[in-house]
Amino acid sequence: MTRHNFSWIALFIPSPTGFFSTRRTARQVLLFMSLISLSSVYGQVSYSIAEEMAKGSVVGNIAQDLGLDVKRLKSGKARIYTTDSTEYIELNRERGILVIKERIDREALCGQTTPCALHFQIILENPMELYRVTVEITDVNDNAPTFKNNEKRFEISESAVIGSKFVLDKAMDLDIGINGLQSYTLKPTDNFMLKLHSQGDGSKKVEMVLQKPLDREKEENMSLLLTAMDGGEPLMSGTVQIYITVLDANDNAPVFTKAVYKSVIPENSKKGTLVTSVSASDADKGSNGEVSYLISNSLDGVSELFYIEENGDIILVGELDYEAAKYYQIDIEAVDNGGLSDSSKIIVDVTDVNDNSPVINVISKSTSINEDSPANTVVAMISVDDPDSDTNGEVQCGMNTNIHFAIRLTSNGFYSIVTDSALDRETDSVYNITVTCSDEGVPSLSSSITLSLHITDVNDNAPLFEKSSYEASLVENNSPGLSVFVVRAVDADWKQNARVSYILDESMINGVAISSYVSVNADSGVIHAVRSFDYEQIKDFQFRVKAQDGGSPPLTSNVSVKIVIQDQNDNAPQILYPVQTSGSLVAEIVPRSADVGYLVTKVVAVDVDSGQNAWLSYKLVKATDRALFEVGAQNGEVRTIRQVTDKDAVKQKLTVIVEDNGQPPRSATVNVNVAVADSFPEMLSEFTDFTHDKEYNDNLTFYLVLALAVVSFLFIVSVIAILSVKCYRWRRDRMFYKSNGHLPVIPYYPPHYADVGGTGTLQHVYNYEVCRTTDSRKSDLKYSRPSSQSIISLDTNGTLSLRNAHREKLVMEDPDDQT
């Protein structure tokens, strides 16, 4: 976007009192406004004041002339910038005016240079603005003409012819213009008259011309007064006394071979360098023909730089500086012993040598900048000056490469350092910008400065997790509050913008809020288990964790977390068949004609754990006759291992333990009752008291009931049990322990289980019906089986009943069981 600014140029004509007025009669003010477009300089103002004004005198209302509000001067921290260390003008920000800070002596400041002006800049910040101000210093008549010597002596031969010229010292007046040296007078004028010759540098050569012959006999010594006057108000003057001694005849004056001598010398010439040689001749003979040379320059410092030897050689005795003076005019005289003289001048041109490196001055700079600053943001302004001339003073500035900044030259010779591409604090937090300026001289001279710029952080980076997803395992039955694992995210920003907080992303798992499963530490990212997990209820679950930084506005990212529950061997095997009851029992019938390997029954058990924790093995731990039966270690089948004989007891009781493969292993025990008989009367007497065999069964029943009570208690107080296990236990409680009603008992078999051989007492399909009452003696158990098997039902009276040809009922009641 181009900004249009105005530039003001104001010329003030001072009054004798040194103050200013806007009225045309007191002084005139010329205001010229022109519309310009600048990149960094917004305006220019010029003033004119008289030298020697008192401190505190008002130069001008800079705020009004620039069209600025005084408040802007204050808020922008307006200040004066000048390349010179001496400040003659200061800015009063409270009133918006420029005032005199130090007494200004135009002659000390500019010498004979005209016009004489002070150049400085007004700098404002926020935003950065620059205004150029020029203050012209006008001369006042504060210096009187002066001569180098108070007196001048001549020895003039009486034979001097009319028209002989005698060079007098020139007066010097530091003032300029009308206040400078204007005229000379010589008194008395009886024998001499004054003659002035204008020279190329604007000065006048003063000569005293003989207009009447001298007569030593009448007047041997003369005294004249030379007066130099300026044109200022009040008039100021200076005098020199001229003493003349009249000598006898020396009627020929020295004569230079040239009226003007010219020479060129480099500014870096060493002391003792021969500048040029001059020569003058005198037609007289003897001592009157001997010529001596001298430099007649008075106050301009020439005699301190040059020396003329007796032979007319001009020798350099000082140090030249092209930037201080580009040429010198040396006034010389040739004087013979008779006092006659001639004058000439030497023009010495000083050539420039590249002996000055560019001078770099920082006008204004920023110490820090936001990383999201747009391109072309100004971070510094500098000025560069090389006092050399021509190509030696032409300067080119550049910057170190591979940085995001550029240097641009403005229309008024200043340089702006601006951003030229996007900044990223995470890549570079500090830039050391080196600006190098070189001139075009041979050899080239250069200067450089380094500016340190800090990049301020902006929240432009979201936290990043170390992994795209996380997975962890947790063993079931853990303690609530257990630390599971840690998620970690990093933020490339700085300080508060890089502070990461962790938040659990709310979601539902099986209708339950994820916050009831796990929690996350907001500072460390540690995932904690809020509850104890049960593998049988939940195998795994997923949720998301969000990482949020502390910036404004905050940035976030999230990650998926999966927790896998590992199984523990926390469930003992459960016996499904044969069903164990306390009021009545079931006996398996084995005919005495049973062969080896006869399938008596099968112990069926399950384990709700998984993996090897659910691998079951079967073992016969107790039997009435261990040599008659065996249990399959893997399938739980109870088979005969020898031929049944008549000597075998009718009543057989087997104790089978079912054990899982967990660590440590868990187990369950089941009793299997077997009747070895071919007929019912044969075994009736044995099984009449079978249910009262306390020695064999009491201890085992006690522990089973105790275990059942503990399991039931834990079931009641545990609110986090999985629904499937609760249902299973509820059905088992209803099946095994509810004392009212009729409940079907449906055994669980592993998939594809079958008795392939078709022999034995356990076929493919089994139906059970349990009838229980409050009186255990009247409880019935109905066991349906295929017609190929024989099932007996006994009551306390030993009564046998057959329902049909394909089904038998065995009802056994324990008279000691009172529900």
Q: Across the chain, what does the average pLDDT equal? A: 78
pLDDT at 793: 38
| Burial annotation 385-401 (CB, 10 A radius, 16+ → b, else e) | ebbbbeebbebebebee
Beta carbons of 180 and 170 less than 8 angstroms apart: no
Q: Label residue 736 by pLDDT band (50, 70, 90).
A: low
Q: Calculate mean pLDDT across residues 47-61.
A: 90
Please report, for the chain, the start and end positions of each structural domain, with discontinuous segments joined by +.
44-136, 146-247, 255-351, 359-454, 464-566, 574-684
Q: How many residues does the chain have?
A: 819
pLDDT at 769 over 50: no
Distance, in Å, from the CA atom of 670 to the CA atom of 432, rounded to the nearest integer, reads 87
Q: What are phi and psi of 724, to 5 degrees?
A: -65, -40
Distance, in Å, from the CA atom of 489 to the CA atom of 492, rounded to the nearest integer, reads 10
Distance, in Å, from the CA atom of 169 to the CA atom of 185, rounded to the nearest integer, reads 13
pLDDT at 806: 30
Q: Which amino acid is at 752?
A: H
Between these two residues, 357 and 11, which has the higher pLDDT value? 357
pLDDT at 169: 86
CATH of domain 359-454: 2.60.40.60
Range with lowest mean pLDDT among 42-56, 98-112, 309-323, 720-734:
720-734
- Strand intervals (E) in 37-175: 41-50, 58-60, 79-81, 89-92, 97-100, 116-124, 129-138, 151-157, 165-167
Q: Calculate mean pLDDT across residues 573-581.
A: 82
Q: Calculate mean pLDDT across residues 643-670.
A: 86
| Burial annotation 501-538 (CB, 10 A radius, 16+ → b, else e) | bbebeeeeeeeeebeebbebeeeebbbebeeebbbbbb
255-351 folds as: Immunoglobulin-like (2.60.40)
pLDDT at 503: 93
Between these two residues, 260 and 297, which has the higher pLDDT value? 260
pLDDT at 563: 92
- Token pair 């205001």 is found at 31
Greatest alpha-carbon pair distance for the chain in Å reads 201
Instruction: Work out the burial of residue 794: count CB atoms within 10 Å of its CB; fewer than 13 is exposed, 13-18 middle, 19 or more buried.
Output: buried
pLDDT at 36: 31
What pLDDT digit, counting tens, does each position of 145-154 carry? Answer: 999 889 999 9
pLDDT at 410: 83
- Token pair 């229980």 is found at 772
CATH of domain 574-684: 2.60.40.60
pLDDT at 795: 38
Which of 382, 365, 335 lies closest to 164 in space, CA to CA? 335
Distance of CA 387 to the CA centre of its chain: 40
Between these two residues, 204 and 8, which has the higher pLDDT value? 204
Q: Which amino acid is at 555?
A: L
pLDDT at 803 over 90: no
Q: Label residue 185 by pLDDT band (50, 70, 90).
A: very high
pLDDT at 172: 87
pLDDT at 813 over 80: no
Instruction: State the helix-helix crossing angle for 694-717 and 723-736, rounded to 10 degrees.
Output: 140
pLDDT at 745: 39
What pLDDT digit, counting tens, does each position of 344-361 carry? Answer: 999 999 999 988 899 999
Between these two residues, 412 and 192, which has the higher pLDDT value? 192
Beta carbons of 670 and 578 less than 8 angstroms apart: yes
Q: Label residue 688 by pLDDT band (50, 70, 90).
A: low
Distance of CA 220 to the CA centre of its chain: 94
pLDDT at 243: 94
Strand-pair partners of 117: 136
146-247 folds as: Immunoglobulin-like (2.60.40)
Q: Which residues contact 486 (CB under 8 A, 6 or more apart)?
A: 524, 525, 526, 527
DSSP-assigned letter for residue 663:
S
Distance, in Å, from the CA atom of 333 to the CA atom of 327, rounded to the nearest integer, reads 20
Distance, in Å, from the CA atom of 437 to the CA atom of 388, rounded to the nearest integer, reads 14
Give percent of the chain with pLDDT exceeding 90.
24
What pLDDT digit, counting tens, does each position of 522-573 carry? Answer: 999 999 999 999 888 888 999 999 999 998 899 999 999 999 988 888 888 9
The 3-state DSSP class for residue 28 equals coil
Q: Which residues contact 257 (CB under 8 A, 6 or more apart)?
A: 278, 279, 280, 281
Q: Calculate mean pLDDT across residues 711-729.
A: 73
pLDDT at 751 over 80: no
Q: Which CATH architecture is the domain 44-136 placed in?
A: Sandwich (2.60)
What pLDDT digit, counting tens, does each position of 207-231 carry? Answer: 999 999 888 778 889 999 999 999 8
SS3 content of the chain, % helix, strand, coil (to 5): 10, 40, 45
Q: Which amino acid is at 280?
A: A
CATH of domain 464-566: 2.60.40.60
pLDDT at 270: 93
User: 779 to each of 200, 309, 406, 757, 810, how far by Cα in Å?
Assistant: 151, 157, 103, 34, 11
Distance, in Å, from the CA atom of 103 to the CA atom of 587, rounded to the nearest integer, reads 134
Between these two residues, 307 and 587, which has the higher pLDDT value? 307
Q: Label residue 591 by pLDDT band (50, 70, 90).
A: confident
Q: Calculate mean pLDDT across residues 473-477.
A: 88
Between these two residues, 579 and 237, which has the higher pLDDT value? 237
pLDDT at 584: 55
pLDDT at 261 over 90: yes
Beta carbons of 41 and 414 less than 8 angstroms apart: yes
pLDDT at 592 over 50: yes
| Burial annotation 34-45 (CB, 10 A radius, 16+ → b, else e) | eeeebbbbbbbb
pLDDT at 586 over 80: no
Query: Taking CA 373 as the corner, what is the angle to CA 372 and CA 378, rounded to the nearest 5 degrees?
Result: 160
What pLDDT digit, counting tens, does each position of 406-426 carry? Answer: 998 887 778 999 998 888 888
Distance, in Å, from the CA atom of 117 to the CA atom of 138, rounded to the nearest integer, reads 9
pLDDT at 237 over 80: yes
Structure tokens at 746: 């449906």
Q: Label residue 646 by pLDDT band (50, 70, 90).
A: confident
Q: Label residue 817 by pLDDT band (50, 70, 90).
A: very low
